Amino acid sequence: MSTWQRIGVGLKFTLALALAAILYQRVFVATLLPQVATDGPFSTPVVWLERVVPVAIVIILLATWVWVIAGAVQDERTVDRRVRRR
């Protein structure tokens, strides 16, 4: 996969995760979270979701861009090795 294709995949993931973060903020945090009772049976999972979802979004975003950068570096090293062999 070429570097530009990797960058395109990285941008698509970034846009998709931005949309997911906006939906999470608008739907879950702004609308559903205030409706959960603090002493109810679902209060613990809701608190965990409130903490885990933003962390998961950031981890996926960082992993995607690490993949883009590592792939570009690997492609450049491969090209450099091919040039040296000639």
Give the C-alpha distances (Å, rounded to integers) separating 41 from 10, 12, 38, 45.
Answer: 39, 38, 9, 9
Q: What span, in angstroms and rounded, lies between the C-alpha atoms of 38 and 43?
A: 5
What pLDDT score was predicted for residue 37? Answer: 81
pLDDT tier for residue 84 given thresholds of 50, 70 and 90: confident
Range 40-59 burial, b when 16+ CB lie within 10 A, else e: eeeeeebeebeeebeeeeee
Q: Looking at the predicted structure, is the pLDDT value of residue 85 above 80?
A: no
What digits encode the pLDDT tens for the residues 2-59?
Answer: 888 999 999 999 999 999 999 999 998 888 878 888 788 878 888 888 889 999 999 9
Domain residues of the chain, as ranges? 3-85
What pLDDT score was predicted for residue 31? Answer: 86
pLDDT tier for residue 63 given thresholds of 50, 70 and 90: very high
